Structure 1
Amino acid sequence: MIAVRVGEVFNVDLKATPTTGYRWQPVDLPGVRLVDTGFTADGTTPGQGGTERFHLRAAEPGRHTLTFELKRAWETDPVDTRTVEIDVSEA
Protein backbone atom coordinates (compact mmCIF):
# COMPACT_ATOMS: atom_id res chain seq x y z
CA MET A 1 0.00 0.00 0.00
CA ILE A 2 1.35 3.38 -1.02
CA ALA A 3 0.08 6.31 1.07
CA VAL A 4 0.03 9.71 -0.67
CA ARG A 5 -1.80 13.03 -0.49
CA VAL A 6 -3.87 14.63 -3.26
CA GLY A 7 -1.48 16.47 -5.60
CA GLU A 8 1.56 14.44 -4.56
CA VAL A 9 3.67 12.78 -7.27
CA PHE A 10 4.79 9.21 -6.64
CA ASN A 11 6.40 6.41 -8.64
CA VAL A 12 5.49 2.84 -9.51
CA ASP A 13 8.55 0.80 -10.57
CA LEU A 14 8.24 -2.47 -12.51
CA LYS A 15 11.04 -4.72 -13.80
CA ALA A 16 11.09 -4.87 -17.60
CA THR A 17 13.12 -5.80 -20.68
CA PRO A 18 11.63 -3.60 -23.42
CA THR A 19 13.96 -4.95 -26.13
CA THR A 20 11.85 -8.13 -26.09
CA GLY A 21 8.86 -6.09 -27.26
CA TYR A 22 7.10 -6.42 -23.91
CA ARG A 23 6.27 -3.19 -22.10
CA TRP A 24 4.27 -2.41 -18.99
CA GLN A 25 1.10 -0.56 -19.89
CA PRO A 26 -1.22 1.15 -17.40
CA VAL A 27 -4.72 -0.18 -18.02
CA ASP A 28 -6.64 1.14 -15.01
CA LEU A 29 -5.48 4.17 -13.01
CA PRO A 30 -8.38 5.35 -10.84
CA GLY A 31 -7.70 8.35 -8.64
CA VAL A 32 -4.39 9.29 -10.32
CA ARG A 33 -3.05 11.05 -13.40
CA LEU A 34 -0.10 9.77 -15.42
CA VAL A 35 2.63 12.43 -15.40
CA ASP A 36 5.50 10.69 -17.22
CA THR A 37 7.17 7.34 -17.84
CA GLY A 38 10.79 6.29 -18.10
CA PHE A 39 13.15 3.33 -18.27
CA THR A 40 16.47 2.83 -16.48
CA ALA A 41 18.69 -0.05 -17.59
CA ASP A 42 20.35 -2.21 -14.94
CA GLY A 43 23.70 -1.80 -16.70
CA THR A 44 25.38 -0.81 -19.95
CA THR A 45 24.94 -4.06 -21.91
CA PRO A 46 22.66 -3.56 -24.94
CA GLY A 47 19.31 -5.33 -24.55
CA GLN A 48 19.68 -5.60 -20.79
CA GLY A 49 16.64 -5.40 -18.55
CA GLY A 50 15.93 -2.69 -16.06
CA THR A 51 13.14 -0.76 -14.39
CA GLU A 52 10.17 0.89 -16.06
CA ARG A 53 9.01 3.82 -13.93
CA PHE A 54 5.58 5.43 -13.97
CA HIS A 55 5.38 8.93 -12.46
CA LEU A 56 1.83 9.45 -11.18
CA ARG A 57 0.02 12.31 -9.45
CA ALA A 58 -2.62 11.51 -6.83
CA ALA A 59 -5.84 13.23 -7.93
CA GLU A 60 -8.77 11.86 -5.90
CA PRO A 61 -8.93 10.85 -2.22
CA GLY A 62 -9.72 7.26 -1.30
CA ARG A 63 -8.31 3.77 -1.71
CA HIS A 64 -7.59 2.81 -5.29
CA THR A 65 -6.18 -0.20 -7.15
CA LEU A 66 -3.89 0.61 -10.09
CA THR A 67 -3.48 -2.08 -12.76
CA PHE A 68 -0.56 -2.57 -15.16
CA GLU A 69 -0.24 -5.22 -17.88
CA LEU A 70 2.94 -6.56 -19.48
CA LYS A 71 2.33 -7.14 -23.18
CA ARG A 72 3.44 -6.34 -26.69
CA ALA A 73 1.67 -3.39 -28.32
CA TRP A 74 0.09 -5.57 -31.02
CA GLU A 75 -1.17 -8.29 -28.64
CA THR A 76 -4.35 -8.23 -26.59
CA ASP A 77 -3.51 -10.76 -23.86
CA PRO A 78 -0.92 -9.78 -21.24
CA VAL A 79 1.79 -12.19 -20.09
CA ASP A 80 1.71 -10.63 -16.61
CA THR A 81 -0.51 -8.28 -14.61
CA ARG A 82 0.47 -6.26 -11.55
CA THR A 83 -1.72 -4.28 -9.20
CA VAL A 84 -0.67 -1.54 -6.80
CA GLU A 85 -2.85 -0.39 -3.90
CA ILE A 86 -2.79 3.29 -3.00
CA ASP A 87 -4.43 5.28 -0.23
CA VAL A 88 -4.88 8.93 -1.19
CA SER A 89 -5.69 11.41 1.58
CA GLU A 90 -6.75 15.06 1.31
CA ALA A 91 -3.91 17.54 0.83
Structure 2
Amino acid sequence: MNKIILASLTALLAVPFCAHAEQILNDANHQQTITVKPKEIFIVKLPANPSTGYMWQFKPPEDGTVKLVGNWKHTPSKKNTPGAGGETTWRLVAGQSGETSLQFFYRRPWEDASVEPAEVREYKIVINSTSSAASTPASAVKPWF
Protein backbone atom coordinates (compact mmCIF):
# COMPACT_ATOMS: atom_id res chain seq x y z
CA MET A 1 0.00 0.00 0.00
CA ASN A 2 2.81 2.42 0.90
CA LYS A 3 4.53 1.66 -2.41
CA ILE A 4 1.35 2.57 -4.33
CA ILE A 5 0.98 5.87 -2.45
CA LEU A 6 4.66 6.69 -2.96
CA ALA A 7 4.46 5.89 -6.68
CA SER A 8 1.32 8.04 -7.06
CA LEU A 9 2.89 10.99 -5.26
CA THR A 10 6.05 10.71 -7.35
CA ALA A 11 4.00 10.71 -10.57
CA LEU A 12 1.97 13.74 -9.45
CA LEU A 13 5.08 15.71 -8.51
CA ALA A 14 6.77 14.92 -11.82
CA VAL A 15 3.90 16.21 -14.00
CA PRO A 16 4.71 19.95 -13.71
CA PHE A 17 8.31 19.25 -14.68
CA CYS A 18 7.48 17.33 -17.85
CA ALA A 19 8.33 19.49 -20.85
CA HIS A 20 6.30 19.59 -24.02
CA ALA A 21 8.21 17.97 -26.86
CA GLU A 22 8.85 20.71 -29.40
CA GLN A 23 8.55 19.92 -33.10
CA ILE A 24 11.95 19.60 -34.75
CA LEU A 25 12.37 20.55 -38.39
CA ASN A 26 15.41 19.15 -40.18
CA ASP A 27 16.54 17.68 -43.51
CA ALA A 28 13.94 14.91 -43.22
CA ASN A 29 10.98 17.30 -43.33
CA HIS A 30 12.52 19.90 -45.65
CA GLN A 31 9.99 21.17 -48.23
CA GLN A 32 7.07 19.96 -46.17
CA THR A 33 4.22 21.96 -44.69
CA ILE A 34 4.40 22.15 -40.91
CA THR A 35 1.36 23.15 -38.84
CA VAL A 36 1.82 24.85 -35.48
CA LYS A 37 -0.37 26.79 -33.07
CA PRO A 38 0.11 30.47 -32.23
CA LYS A 39 2.86 30.90 -29.60
CA GLU A 40 4.08 27.33 -30.15
CA ILE A 41 7.84 26.90 -30.04
CA PHE A 42 9.52 24.75 -32.68
CA ILE A 43 13.13 24.01 -33.57
CA VAL A 44 15.08 23.88 -36.83
CA LYS A 45 18.27 21.76 -36.81
CA LEU A 46 20.50 21.58 -39.88
CA PRO A 47 23.86 19.85 -40.39
CA ALA A 48 26.73 22.32 -40.68
CA ASN A 49 30.50 22.47 -40.77
CA PRO A 50 31.75 26.02 -40.13
CA SER A 51 35.37 24.90 -40.59
CA THR A 52 34.63 24.86 -44.35
CA GLY A 53 33.68 28.54 -44.25
CA TYR A 54 30.02 27.77 -44.87
CA MET A 55 27.31 28.59 -42.40
CA TRP A 56 23.52 28.68 -42.46
CA GLN A 57 21.90 32.07 -42.87
CA PHE A 58 18.34 32.72 -41.80
CA LYS A 59 16.29 35.88 -41.54
CA PRO A 60 12.93 35.60 -39.73
CA PRO A 61 9.91 36.80 -41.74
CA GLU A 62 9.35 40.55 -41.44
CA ASP A 63 5.60 40.09 -40.93
CA GLY A 64 6.18 38.60 -37.46
CA THR A 65 4.51 35.26 -38.24
CA VAL A 66 7.61 33.51 -36.86
CA LYS A 67 10.20 35.00 -34.52
CA LEU A 68 13.58 33.80 -33.36
CA VAL A 69 13.84 33.01 -29.63
CA GLY A 70 17.37 33.88 -28.53
CA ASN A 71 20.17 33.33 -31.03
CA TRP A 72 21.10 30.45 -33.28
CA LYS A 73 23.55 27.96 -31.82
CA HIS A 74 26.12 25.62 -33.37
CA THR A 75 26.78 22.30 -31.66
CA PRO A 76 29.95 20.49 -32.77
CA SER A 77 29.88 16.83 -33.66
CA LYS A 78 30.46 14.41 -30.79
CA LYS A 79 33.48 13.21 -32.73
CA ASN A 80 36.48 14.99 -31.29
CA THR A 81 38.07 15.30 -34.72
CA PRO A 82 39.43 18.54 -36.25
CA GLY A 83 37.15 19.65 -39.08
CA ALA A 84 34.22 17.49 -37.95
CA GLY A 85 30.82 19.02 -38.59
CA GLY A 86 27.90 19.39 -36.26
CA GLU A 87 24.55 21.10 -36.43
CA THR A 88 23.16 24.60 -36.27
CA THR A 89 19.96 25.08 -34.29
CA TRP A 90 17.35 27.82 -34.21
CA ARG A 91 14.52 28.02 -31.69
CA LEU A 92 11.48 29.77 -33.16
CA VAL A 93 8.05 30.80 -31.93
CA ALA A 94 4.92 31.11 -34.04
CA GLY A 95 2.96 34.36 -34.07
CA GLN A 96 -0.71 34.78 -34.90
CA SER A 97 -2.57 32.63 -37.41
CA GLY A 98 -1.26 32.75 -40.95
CA GLU A 99 1.22 31.16 -43.33
CA THR A 100 4.85 31.83 -44.06
CA SER A 101 7.89 30.26 -45.63
CA LEU A 102 11.17 29.86 -43.76
CA GLN A 103 14.30 29.74 -45.89
CA PHE A 104 17.79 28.78 -44.76
CA PHE A 105 20.81 29.36 -47.02
CA TYR A 106 24.13 27.53 -46.58
CA ARG A 107 26.76 29.94 -47.87
CA ARG A 108 30.01 31.67 -47.09
CA PRO A 109 29.13 34.95 -45.37
CA TRP A 110 31.80 36.95 -47.20
CA GLU A 111 30.54 36.01 -50.66
CA ASP A 112 28.34 38.34 -52.67
CA ALA A 113 24.60 37.65 -52.48
CA SER A 114 24.63 36.91 -56.21
CA VAL A 115 26.63 33.71 -55.54
CA GLU A 116 24.27 30.74 -55.32
CA PRO A 117 24.18 29.12 -51.86
CA ALA A 118 25.63 25.63 -51.59
CA GLU A 119 22.32 24.41 -50.12
CA VAL A 120 18.85 25.77 -49.42
CA ARG A 121 16.27 24.44 -46.96
CA GLU A 122 12.71 25.69 -47.01
CA TYR A 123 9.77 24.97 -44.73
CA LYS A 124 6.20 26.15 -45.19
CA ILE A 125 4.72 27.03 -41.81
CA VAL A 126 0.96 27.18 -41.25
CA ILE A 127 -0.03 28.79 -37.96
CA ASN A 128 -3.50 27.61 -37.08
CA SER A 129 -5.21 28.05 -33.72
CA THR A 130 -7.43 25.03 -34.40
CA SER A 131 -4.46 22.77 -35.13
CA SER A 132 -4.18 19.51 -33.23
CA ALA A 133 -0.51 20.32 -32.50
CA ALA A 134 0.17 20.85 -28.82
CA SER A 135 1.30 24.36 -28.00
CA THR A 136 3.92 25.58 -25.59
CA PRO A 137 2.57 28.06 -23.03
CA ALA A 138 3.51 31.69 -23.70
CA SER A 139 5.22 31.84 -20.30
CA ALA A 140 7.71 29.24 -21.55
CA VAL A 141 8.83 31.39 -24.49
CA LYS A 142 12.24 32.48 -23.26
CA PRO A 143 15.68 32.54 -24.85
CA TRP A 144 17.40 29.22 -24.37
CA PHE A 145 21.04 30.27 -24.46
Same fold (TM over 0.5): yes
Structure with greater helix percent? 2
| Residue 87 (structure 1) aligned to one of 107, 113, 126 | 126
Maintained 8 Å contact 1:28/1:68: no
Please state whether the residue corresponding to 1:87 is helix, strand or coil. Answer: strand
Q: Look up the match of 2:56.
A: 24
Structure with greater strand percent? 1
Please state whether the residue corresponding to 1:47 is helix, strand or coil. Answer: coil
Q: Look up the match of 2:91.
A: 55
With normalisation by structure 1, the TM-score equals: 0.85
**Offset of 1:28 from its aligned partner?**
5.4
Identity percentage over the alignment? 36
C-alpha separation between the residues in 2 aligned to 1:33 and 1:87?
14
Q: 2:106 aligned with 1:70, yes or no? A: yes
C-alpha separation between the residues in 1 aligned to 2:97 and 2:34?
13
Q: Look up the match of 1:14.
A: 46
| Residue 38 (structure 1) aligned to one of 52, 59, 73 | 73
- How many residue pairs get aligned? The number is 91
Larger Rg over CA atoms: 2
Q: With a CA cutoff of 8 Å and minimum separation of 6, indicate the structure with the bigger relative contact order.
A: 1
Unaligned runs of 5+ in 2: 1-32, 130-134, 136-145
